[in-house]
Amino acid sequence: MQNRQIVLKSRPVGIPQPEHFELKVSEAPALKDGEFLVENHYLSVDPAQRGYVNDENNYAPPVPIGAVMRAMAVGKVVASKCADVRQGEFLYGWFGWQDYCAATPAGILRRVDPAQAPLSTGAGLLGINGLTAYLALHDIGKPKPGETVLVTAAAGAVGSIVGQLAKLAGARAVAVVGSDDKGRQCCEEYGYAAFINYRKPLEGALRETCPKGVDVFFDNTGGEIADTVIRQMALFGRAIQCGTMSIASWVPNPVGPRNDREILTRRLRIEGFVIFDHLKRYDETAAKLAAMARDGLLRYAEDIGTQIADAPQALVDVYSGRNKGKKLIKLR
C-alpha cells in the first residue's frame, strides 16, 4: 500500500510555510508486535502545529527534520498486532499528516464512535477544538450569567464553539475577528451577541461593546489585541491563555506593555490551558458536546480540503484567518 506523507524539510522560524515541507511517497509501514495500522480519513490542521516544528519554547520536543509532520487525525484501524485495538475501530490520535500510521496505544487520544456524530467531528467539535472550548471555558473562565466573555479568533475552530457555550451558560459572548464577514457569521451562527473587527481601532470598540468590562477573556491570539483587552477587563476577570496566533515569532522574545499592574489592581487571573493535560475527560466531554450538537444547541463549521499536498498551505491559511471553521483534509 502506498503511503503519502508530508515530511518536515527544514526548520522554520515562526509560522511554517509550504517550503518547509515536502510530500514523500513510500510503502505503508509493516507492523511490529504491539502496533496497529491506522488508515487516516481526516487530517487535522491546527495552529498548535507551528509549535511542533520550531525550536521555540513549547510543550513537546520539535519534529525532527525528515520526519512525518506531527498531526492529529481520525482514522480507521485496518490491521492490528495490538491486543487493545481491534481492526475496524475508528480512532483519533497522533497519526501524522500521512495515509497510514503504524501506531501504538500511546498515540490514541480518543476512540471515535461513528454513530455518535459524523466522523469528521472526531477531529474538531469532538476533538481538541471542542474539548478545549468546553474545558478551558468552564475550568478557568467559569462564566456566570450576565458576564461578558470576549473571544479572540472567534470564528475559528475553538472560538466558534466558545461563543455558543458562553451563550448557553447565560453569558454575553463578544467576538474579536479579522473581518466584518466573520463577525456577522459569529453573531448569526456561533452565539455571539456582538463582534469587534480588530483591524479597526480596538480600544474604543471594546469600550463600546463591553461597557462593564470583560469578565472572561478567551484568548487565542495574544499580542497587541490581548494588551488592549487586558486593560479593559473587569475586576476579578479571568483570562485564558489558549494560543498565541498573533505572534509571528518568539525568537527573539517580543516585548509588550507590562501587565503586572493590571493583574494586581484588577485582581486578574491569567492561566494557560493545554488540552493534552485533560485526556481523561475527553470521552465524557465529547459525549456532552455530541449531545448538544444532536439537540441542535451547538453548530460547528468545517472547512474541508481533499488534497494531502495542501496541508502545509492550510496551516498558513489558519494562521492568516482564511479558514472558515475547523480545517481538515479528507483523504477518503
Residue 31 binding its own copies, by CB under 8 A: no
Taking the complex as a whole, the smallest distance from the CB of residue 107 to its own copies amounts, in Å, to: 21
Q: Which is nearer to its own copies, 219 or 302 (CB)?
A: 219
Residue 281 binding its own copies, by CB under 8 A: no
Measuring CA to CA, how many Å separate 321 from each of 48, 69, 95, 154, 176? 14, 21, 25, 10, 12
Closest CA to 152 of 170, 125, 173, 131: 173
Closest CA to 50 of 37, 38, 59, 39: 59
Q: Which is nearer to its own copies, 237 or 305 (CB)?
A: 237
> What whole-number distance in Å separates Cα of residue 189 and Cα of residue 38?
34
Taking the complex as a whole, the smallest distance from the CB of residue 264 to its own copies amounts, in Å, to: 4
Residue 201 binding its own copies, by CB under 8 A: no
Binder of its own copies out of 12, 47, 51, 156 (CB under 8 A): 51
Give residues 235-264 in contact with its own copies (rule: CB under 8 A): 241-244, 247, 250, 253-264
Q: Across-strand partners of 183?
A: none
The CA-based angle 110-111-117, given to 5 degrees, is: 100
Residue 203 binding its own copies, by CB under 8 A: no
Binder of its own copies out of 23, 168, 194, 274 (CB under 8 A): 274
Query: Which one of 50-58, 78-86, 300-308, 324-332 is the stretch in contact with its own copies (CB under 8 A)?
Result: 50-58
Taking the complex as a whole, the smallest distance from the CB of residue 252 to its own copies amounts, in Å, to: 9
Binder of its own copies out of 222, 305, 312, 325 (CB under 8 A): 222
Q: Which is nearer to its own copies, 117 or 270 (CB)?
A: 270
Kind of pairing, strands 269-272 and 233-241? parallel
Contact status, residue 29 vs residue 298, Cβ threshold 8 Å: no
Query: Which one of 55-63, 104-112, 122-130, 312-320 is the stretch in contact with its own copies (CB under 8 A)?
Result: 55-63
Contact status, residue 98 vs residue 3, Cβ threshold 8 Å: yes
Q: Which is nearer to its own copies, 38 or 240 (CB)?
A: 240
Residue 207 binding its own copies, by CB under 8 A: no
Q: Is 276 helix (H, G, I), strand (E, B) or coil?
A: helix
Contact status, residue 302 vs residue 192, Cβ threshold 8 Å: no
Burial of residue 100 (CB within 10 Å: 0-12, 13-18, 19+) is buried
Closest CA to 4 of 46, 40, 50: 40
Q: Which is nearer to its own copies, 27 or 260 (CB)?
A: 260
Residue 223 binding its own copies, by CB under 8 A: yes
Binder of its own copies out of 32, 207, 267, 294 (CB under 8 A): 267
Q: Is the dihedral of CA 78, 3, 112, 329 positive or negative?
A: negative
Binding residues vs its own copies (CB under 8 A): 51, 56-59, 219, 222-223, 226, 241-244, 247, 250, 253-274, 277
